[in-house]
């Protein structure tokens, strides 16, 4: 059974001492709160937190697979070559993470027969979009436009640019089959456009916020198109749901993870949560998790409306690469961080290091060993260095990187963050800080209805700027 495990031995006081490690009393103390938090979250499962049910929606899975199947001949024949996600935040990070984890790292150089490349264009930097237009033939692209709100300026502007380029390239009528839209069933401007244009489309269901939407068509459509095992992904998530939804603290990885995060920040003075991926393929999952954690828990207001200004700062690192970049700080810098290593027990490949230069001690010990052994030793070496330096560190262990284990991870982290919301006493499902920047952008860009905000921004401009 490829069951994900959480090893939290080295966040305990026995490993790193009582100043930095959690005591049995601290964990026992918070356990009932986590269980109560879980009950509160589960009570909203069929109400406003519908993301919990995404792994079980067989009809949606089938619709996504049918759509991918219907597009497959166009990729097989070479009429289409690329899938391009136009989306941002929760409407993009999961797509990139799933492709990175579950396709070859070199998929986009040489896609397997009949499959498209996948690009996630989650920026409006003109040097990204302009370079894309200069480099990629839009007539060979399927654009996967994703926006729950159907109004985000970045995604809408990309849609307008790419739609026009498509029409210029293939004509008004033919451009329709180059676009698939995922958006709310009713809200936002994209839905009426879908209806008017006849674009293929999927729904982001009610009760599924952007950063909790990876297991909806938001993440599934592009995944199915590039050949990811969508059923396996959802089965993994469903298994984790089963494991977490009613289990007591001691058997519940989501509750234990939420408890560690909360105690590390609130009792041990560690505001930084570092996800250190000892897997190149899982590295983008850290970026997906960074958004999930930051947007969900980073809040000004408590649930009761008091100013609390809370939230951990997520940090992503990749092993072994960042051993030669960030580890110095992690091992010897301030005691303001705790660590989660992502570990993979069984890689898909075995790479053997040839025996050469037997008379050079600096090389001979490597000869005949595998990179798998070296990678595992480096991971354990980092863990030991962190522990010896009093830095708490847990491991999430993937038996191997498959759709099923990645599905487990996604769901476990979503549930952990939902529970953290209760423990930190914040609304984990809103994002007023993101909305504030969106509103300011609308105002600066002259969107109707935002005139008052524009006036305020103009009035607040410094009369005496300091620039060197």
Which residues would be at the binding site for ligand PA5 (CB under 6 A)? 88-91, 147-149, 152, 155, 209-211, 295, 431, 434
Identity of the residue, 91 or 286, whose beta carbon is nearer to ligand PA5 in the bound complex: 91
Q: Is 197 noted as a catalytic residue in this protein?
A: no
Closest separation between CB of residue 12 and ligand PA5, Å?
Answer: 33
Identity of the residue, 152 or 395, whose beta carbon is nearer to ligand PA5 in the bound complex: 152
Q: Which residues contact 8 (CB under 8 A, 6 or more apart)?
A: 256, 260, 394
Q: How far lies 396's CA from each of 69, 91, 203, in Å? A: 34, 25, 32
**What is the Cα–Cα distance from 235 to 229, expressed in whole angstroms?**
10
Closest separation between CB of residue 152 and ligand PA5, Å?
Answer: 3
Q: Write down the residue that tokens 């099923």 correspond to.
A: 404
Residues 174, 177, 179, CA angle at the centre, nearest 5°?
A: 115
Closest separation between CB of residue 298 and ligand PA5, Å?
Answer: 12
DSSP assignment of 67-108 equals HHHHHHHHHHTTS--EEEEE--GGGTHHHHHHHHHHS-TTTT
Instruction: Tell me 268's DSSP state.
Output: T
Q: Is 295 noted as a catalytic residue in this protein?
A: yes
Among 113, 173, 324, 463, the one annotated catalytic = 324
Report the half-sphere exposure of 423 (CA within 13 A, side-chain side): 30
Identity of the residue, 376 or 434, whose beta carbon is nearer to ligand PA5 in the bound complex: 434
Identity of the residue, 210 or 392, whose beta carbon is nearer to ligand PA5 in the bound complex: 210
Closest separation between CB of residue 431 and ligand PA5, Å?
Answer: 5
Question: Within 10 A of 35 (CB to CB), how many other CB atoms are there?
Answer: 17
Burial label for 169, CB within 10 Å (0-12, 13-18, 19+), is: middle
Closest separation between CB of residue 89 and ligand PA5, Å?
Answer: 3
CB 206 within 8 A of CB 57: no
**Dihedral of CA 36/428/393/4: which sign?**
positive
Identity of the residue, 163 or 243, whose beta carbon is nearer to ligand PA5 in the bound complex: 163
Burial label for 129, CB within 10 Å (0-12, 13-18, 19+), is: middle
Helix and strand totals (H; E) in the chain = 17, 12
- Backbone torsion region of residue 168, taken as left when φ is above 0, otherwise alpha when ψ lies between -120 and 50, otherwise beta: alpha
Among 26, 154, 295, 414, the one annotated catalytic = 295
CB 204 within 8 A of CB 218: yes
Closest separation between CB of residue 40 and ligand PA5, Å?
Answer: 21
Q: Is 187 noted as a catalytic residue in this protein?
A: no
Closest CA to 403 of 252, 287, 276, 285: 285
Identity of the residue, 156 or 282, whose beta carbon is nearer to ligand PA5 in the bound complex: 156
Q: Which residue is nearest to ligand PA5 (CB)?
A: 210
Identity of the residue, 182 or 340, whose beta carbon is nearer to ligand PA5 in the bound complex: 182
Closest separation between CB of residue 91 and ligand PA5, Å?
Answer: 4
* Residues designated catalytic: 295, 324, 438
């Amino acid at each position: 059974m490829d069951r994900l495990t959480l090893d939290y031995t080295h966040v305990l006081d026995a490993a790193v001492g009582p100043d930095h490690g959690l005591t049995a009393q601290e964990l026992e103390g918070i356990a009932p709160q986590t269980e109560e938090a879980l009950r509160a979250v589960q009570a909203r499962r069929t109400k406003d937190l519908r993301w919990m049910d995404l792994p079980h929606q067989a009809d949606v899975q089938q619709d996504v697979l049918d759509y991918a199947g219907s597009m497959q001949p166009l990729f097989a024949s070479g009429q289409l070559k690329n899938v391009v996600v136009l989306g941002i935040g929760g409407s993009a990070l999961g797509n990139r993470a799933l492709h990175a984890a579950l396709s070859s790292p070199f998929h986009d150089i040489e896609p397997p027969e009949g499959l498209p490349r996948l690009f996630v264009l989650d920026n409006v930097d003109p040097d990204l979009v302009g370079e894309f237009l200069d480099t990629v033939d839009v007539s060979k692209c399927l654009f996967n436009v994703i926006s729950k709100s159907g109004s985000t300026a970045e995604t809408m502007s990309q849609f307008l640019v790419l739609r026009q380029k498509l029409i210029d390239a293939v004509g008004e009528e033919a451009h329709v089959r180059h676009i698939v839209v995922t958006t709310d069933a009713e809200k936002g401007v994209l839905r009426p456009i879908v209806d008017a244009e006849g674009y293929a489309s999927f729904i982001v269901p009610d009760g599924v916020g952007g950063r909790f939407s990876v297991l909806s068509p938001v993440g599934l459509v592009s995944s199915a198109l590039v050949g990811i095992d969508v059923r396996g992904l959802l089965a993994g998530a469903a298994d984790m749901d089963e494991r977490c939804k009613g289990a007591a603290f001691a058997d519940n990885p989501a509750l234990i993870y939420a408890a560690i995060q909360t105690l590390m920040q609130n009792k041990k003075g560690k505001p930084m949560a570092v996800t250190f991926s000892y897997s190149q393929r899982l590295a983008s999952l850290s970026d997906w998790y960074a958004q999930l954690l930051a947007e969900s828990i980073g809040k000004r207001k408590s649930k009761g409306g008091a100013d609390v200004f809370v939230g951990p700062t997520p940090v992503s690192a990749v092993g072994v690469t960042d051993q030669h970049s960030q580890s110095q700080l992690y091992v010897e810098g301030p005691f303001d961080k705790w660590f989660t290593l992502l570990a993979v027990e069984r890689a898909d490949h075995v790479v053997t290091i040839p025996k050469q230069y037997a008379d050079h001690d600096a090389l001979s010990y490597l000869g005949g060993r595998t990179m798998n052994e070296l990678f595992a030793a480096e991971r354990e070496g980092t863990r030991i260095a962190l522990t010896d330096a009093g830095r708490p560190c847990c491991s999430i262990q993937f038996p191997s990187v498959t759709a099923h284990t990645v599905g487990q991870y996604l769901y476990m982290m979503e549930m952990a963050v939902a529970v953290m919301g209760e423990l930190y006493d914040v609304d984990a499902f809103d994002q007023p800080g993101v909305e504030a920047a969106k509103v300011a952008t609308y105002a600066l860009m002259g969107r109707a209805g935002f005139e008052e905000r524009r006036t305020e921004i103009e009035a607040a401009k410094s009369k005496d700027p300091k620039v060197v």
